[in-house]
Amino acid sequence: MISLSFDQTDIDWPAVEKQLLTWGDLFRTGKKLTLNISFNFVENNHGSKFGLKATDKRGASSVTQRMLIERDAEINDDEEATGQPPPWTNVYSLMRCSGRACELGPHCWRDPISKKHIKLTVQNLRALVNFVEQGGVLTSHDDVPDSIREKLYIQEQQRIERHKRSHQTTAGYPPINITNVLPAQSLSASVPDTPIPASAMSPAKITAECLDIPGLRDLAVAEIATGNNPM
């Protein structure tokens, strides 16, 4: 068993992919591979000043409540240091998809030209946060920089191609029709034109022809055996 651990959510996915490729031969030979991915959130003392009192029915601290308190603590620290809310709160709020018919969410970029929704990944949102932290202005979807737009266009094109390939693999095979009917000429060829006599269709008894042996039969048989055939 191999165990890999990373800080926060900064996961080295190429290292994971490399290990899976190394195990590829085992998978092809029929071995069963199990990959367990777990995210462990460790509580720090920073959130204790906000009064962590929410508990579940078993008396243990609620993980969701603890994460919300830690987020509030981070927001409060940033506001106290800069006098403004942290950039990521504005970015996430701005990019949250409000379209009810959109199934790409929860965060999308609305292309101002085509009015199309393009899904935003965590990496895309992080790039937007970095853009704001470096002094960029992001007050609407029109303010997304061209460098990030190009990446989003490429991602969307790749998503469409994957979707097409998945449909082609299932619908690309023609239907198979099996007809179990004998041709008419084969059927007629198997039936003879001339009727077959009933005597020929049933096994006939072979009757031996009676021999006309003159004289005593025993003597005649003896003469036949010695070569003197009286017939």
Question: Structure pTM?
Answer: 0.42
At 193, is the pLDDT very low, low, confident or very high (cuts 50, 70, 90)?
A: low
Q: Are 92 and 125 in contact (CB under 8 A)?
A: yes
Helix axes 87-95, 122-133, angle to 10 degrees: 130
Residue 121 included in any domain: yes
Calculate the average pLDDT of the chain. 72
Residue 38 included in any domain: no
Look at the chain and report how many structural domains it folds into: 1
Residue 136 included in any domain: yes
- For 81-130, what is each residue's pLDDT tens digit? 666 677 888 888 898 887 676 777 788 999 988 888 999 988 899 999 99
Residue 177 included in any domain: no
Greatest CA separation found in the chain? Answer: 148
At 1, is the pLDDT very low, low, confident or very high (cuts 50, 70, 90)?
A: low
Residue 48 included in any domain: no
Check residues 82 and 37 and name the one with the higher pLDDT: 37
Residue 210 included in any domain: no
Check residues 200 and 227 and name the one with the higher pLDDT: 227
Residue 196 included in any domain: no
Residue 126 included in any domain: yes
* Residue 137, domain extent: 84-169
Highest mean pLDDT among 28-42, 104-118, 170-184, 200-214: 104-118
CB-facing half-sphere around the CA of 124: CA atoms within 13 A: 24
- For 124-181, what is each residue's pLDDT tens digit? 999 999 999 899 999 999 999 999 999 999 999 998 898 888 777 655 555 566 665 6
